[in-house]
Amino acid sequence: HARQQATPALVPYEPALGEWELQQIQIERELRLALEDEQFRLFLQPQFTAAGELRGAEVLLRWQHPERGLVAPGYFIDHAERSGLIRPMGYWVLEQAVELLRGPLASTDLTLSVNVSVQQLSDDDFLTRIEALLEKGGFSPRRLVLEIVESLLATPGMVMTLCALRQLGVQLALDDFGTGYSSLRYLQEFPVDEIKLDKAFIDPVQHGTDAPLARSIIAMARTLHLRLVAEGVETASQLEFLRQQQASMMQGYYLAYPEPIDTFLARRELQACSAL
Ligand code: C2E
Ligand code: MG
Ligand code: MG
Ligand code: MG
């Protein structure tokens, strides 16, 4: 897996101040600066069919910190959520993703899956903003997939937003499926196109081990005619298991790490070349 070398190592984000409140204030200030200063980067993690065909990528946010290096979202998304900065950050991510779909990826039918926070979804103008992005044109709305996680904050208003989004032609995915309190109820109430089977369900799969919950969720997705993306595929035996269960799509370190945009684009060019 030579491509793995292209992915810079992630460093933990450690604020200089110790106390929690000060941390929050400091990180908030730094995040604000980072937005102005364009320190955020999109990484793309390829998604494949069970047959190994590249279908698209999940867009994952990274913070190219001037001193600390590349910071993973686990260290700043919560702070961004708490301060409300997740809104402008989230829109920035969406805009960048759309520019990729309209630009370098325009000649493909690859999808981009963007993580959307509940705060964004409950914004009054979320729908209008998505509409404005789609009106830029140059790509089919189906190629934009919005990933949402189950949340206790979900409101009836959000269900309407999701219905309206689907009417715009955008696809919806339930992220980290199965890890929340009421995933099945979510599935009943939310009109989605895709389920992302959480990593936790295939973690138990070793050589010859069964994973009955994963099997059941995959079968359920099939019954409901939903695409199922297995997250966190790390081993050959997990891949084998998922193929046996006829999971539709896979994503995970075993197949590809999240990678800088250029690396992803080069991957496509290479595939095009070898296909000739
Ligand atoms: P997620 O949406 O569930 O994304 C999948 C996470 O699993 C990513 O972590 C990805 O790098 C990681 N992953 C993928 N394959 C494997 C694997 O085989 N093994 C393991 N151990 N991990 C794997 P990442 O990039 O650190 O992102 C963490 C979370 O941060 C995401 O979870 C998502 O909830 C959030 N996030 C990332 N970007 C954004 C964004 O633009 N907006 C919002 N609101 N949240 C974001
Ligand atoms: Mg996600
Ligand atoms: Mg996930
Ligand atoms: Mg997750």
More confident residue, 227 or 6: 227
Alpha carbon nearest to ligand 1 atom 16, residue: 232
Other residues' Cβ atoms within 10 Å of the Cβ of residue 269: 9
How many angstroms is it from 137 CA to the middle of ligand 2?
A: 25
CA of 181: how far to CAs of 121, 153, 186, in Å?
Answer: 20, 12, 10
Which residues' Cβ are closer than 6 Å to ligand 1? Answer: 45, 60-61, 72-74, 77, 86, 90, 93, 115, 117, 147, 175-176, 231-234, 251-253, 258
Question: Which pLDDT band holds residue 77 (cuts at 50, 70, 90)?
Answer: very high
- The residue count of the chain comes to 276
Instruction: Give residue-wise pLDDT tens across range 151-174.
Output: 876 788 888 999 999 999 999 999
CA 206 – CA 193 distance, rounded (Å): 29
Alpha carbon nearest to ligand 1 atom 27, residue: 73
Q: In this predicted structure, which of 12-21, 28-37, 110-119, 218-227 has the lowest mean pLDDT?
A: 12-21
Q: Indicate which atom in ligand 1 lies nearest the CA of residue 251.
A: 15
Region 177-204: mean pLDDT is 89
- Residue 23: what pLDDT? 79
Alpha carbon nearest to ligand 1 atom 25, residue: 60
Q: What is the DSSP string of 114-183?
A: EE--HHHHT-TTHHHHHHHHHHT-SS-GGGEEEEEE--TT--HHHHHHHHHHHHTT-EEEEEEETSSS-H
- Residue 207: what pLDDT? 76
CA 182 – CA 22 distance, rounded (Å): 35
Is it the case that residue 252 has pLDDT exceeding 70? yes
